[in-house]
Chain A
């Protein structure tokens, strides 16, 4: 099994915590509002195929919040700085939920170092007439039932009692997510004007039972990014990496091989 190593990198006054594992083409994973926990279960499997890099965004997990970071645009530019600082080039970028939004914002600004872009259940655009789920107004229980479609996952998560350290991380992540995403809620009104700039190979993955960004969001992204590929998993909620794990792995690895 590939070993996951944790390290920190100083960029723009931020001590960025990141995890690395595996060998192969570099895959940079950007996590969503609830932190890197959503990527961790699949990281080892991904590390069989890639050199996976999974940072904690500033203000999330083990990375502290810089007081100047106010919005997703700040985060996107920050990551462009990180990419340069790490010397990453010709790598694959994949983002989930809020991380997908960050990935899209990075790519429309500067895709020169990217080989491919994968957006999974991504935030970033608003589909009028189809409201987003208000994850900032849900109880922990509601969040689980809205984010997952399959009962084994729902039951497992509802049964889980977080300890003090976990609670603290959850609260920290929610706080930073609120700071970045509260208003305009989980989207950038200007993003849809510039998604046409994404001429690199782009894959959009979604669950048909996503309670946060319902399926129409997947199709909206697909329409806004000409040449993108779209797959929607049946009976899958907001976290395809969990609820459609095998199909997800297979599709992603195939996609990135084709985009090499």
Chain B
């Protein structure tokens, strides 16, 4: 299993009482709530943490893209990735991912990623996402065309990376007379691609295709759903495509807090992880799921269940039960991760060790204990497949 340090860069200085007046810290919270002096400190701190992760031996450091939100301060992750490309030595620099449908010219994503791949001499992972539904409000792009644009943009990027230009790209949404990428990617045929996703059969089927074999990185799902999606990936690979998926094709991003004891971990993490779920990640359905973004049957199920997908009221203990947040002593966290590894054959773990309002000292401690008391135990460890007898 490989280990990645994922920093979402939330605006940790957020006035947590904002929700008395505004429905979400995404999109609708006025940017007067952002203090650049605090922002500068946060950027400095978060970038230090990402670089520290490289020192601690993490296999990769990850950033992502979000717009107009206190949840994540990286509308252009390339800015951070560029700095990391120079300030890390061993860890892969991972952008997880660029929201392809939100850009008007996907060629720019191909270019930016090719630059990062060249600068790091291939120490780079390219992630592609559709973007959260709320970002279609933020960026003015039509969610009804999200999937079309995603696939077209993806195809354009891959072709730009792999075909000798100049060639013309004639798509429905994107048309370019000249595609002729300078620089070409360092990695051949192209950088490793990951697809962060909350899980859909369509996405999995597409990612697992033998032409692609992209790593499917599950984000923010209960572990029961993770199991479903990962076994779906393996089944699709074997039954439909005739190959055996490798562990490296299955990834999980999950917030984790490890401390000296279970009690200390619970006490230190609770306010911050609950701020993460209830203050930063809280988005009402009408913003989160604009029409056209997801299928009518999914929306219908949600409407009938009267379920707020990212409503508040989430408790740490419950999130832990669901497997959406792991916390405890090193032994506790190890046991949980062993379970994950054995049940689904997880190959990549993206640890979100800074979340919400978690301050630097606790983040650092979290990182250090994780790096010294959790990671080493998994380096040599292969997935232990359960047999009937071993109960």
Contact = CB atoms under 8 A, between A and B. Distances in A.
A139 B284 contact: yes
Given A175-B296, A178-B143, A183-B142, A136 B304 contact: no
Interface string B282-298: 00111100111000100
Given A137-B137, A167-B304, A178 B291 contact: yes
Contacts of B290: 136-137, 178
A171 B299 contact: yes
B286 A139 contact: yes
B296 A168 contact: yes
Please report whether the interface of chain A is mostly helix, strand, loop or mixed according to DSSP: helix
Interface string A160-203: 00001001100110111111001101000000000000000000
Contacts of A183: 140-142
Interface in B134-157: 136-137, 140-145
A74 to B, nearest CB: 13
Contacts of B143: 178, 182
B142 A171 contact: no
Nearest to A136: B290
Nearest to A163: B304
A12 to B, nearest CB: 19
Nearest to B303: A167
B287 A171 contact: no
A109 to B, nearest CB: 23
Given A167-B303, A167-B304, A171-B303, A178 B286 contact: no
A167 B300 contact: yes
Interface size class of A (residues with CB under 8 A): 20 to 34
Given A137-B290, A139-B286, A171-B291, A179 B304 contact: no
A175 B144 contact: yes
Nearest to A33: B291
B239 to A, nearest CB: 29
Contacts of B292: 174-175, 178-179, 182
A172 B284 CA distance: 20
A168 B302 CA distance: 11
A177 B304 contact: no
B285 A178 contact: no
Contacts of A182: 136, 140-144, 292
B290 to A, nearest CB: 6
Contact of A138 (B286, B299, B304): B286
Contacts of A172: 296
Contacts of A137: 137, 286-287, 290
Interface in A16-42: none
A168 B297 CA distance: 8
A140 B286 CA distance: 8
Nearest to A167: B303
Interface string A135-146: 011111010000
Interface in A42-87: none
Given A171-B291, A175-B144, A183-B142, A139 B285 contact: yes
A175 B303 CA distance: 15
Nearest to A67: B148
Contacts of A176: 144
B130 to A, nearest CB: 15
B174 to A, nearest CB: 14
A113 B246 CA distance: 65
Interface in A114-158: 134, 136-140, 142
A77 B273 CA distance: 53
30 contacts: A136-B137, A136-B291, A137-B137, A137-B286, A139-B285, A139-B286, A164-B300, A167-B300, A167-B303, A167-B304, A168-B296, A168-B300, A171-B291, A171-B296, A171-B299, A171-B300, A171-B303, A172-B296, A174-B291, A175-B144, A176-B144, A177-B291, A178-B142, A178-B143, A179-B142, A179-B144, A179-B145, A182-B141, A182-B144, A183-B140
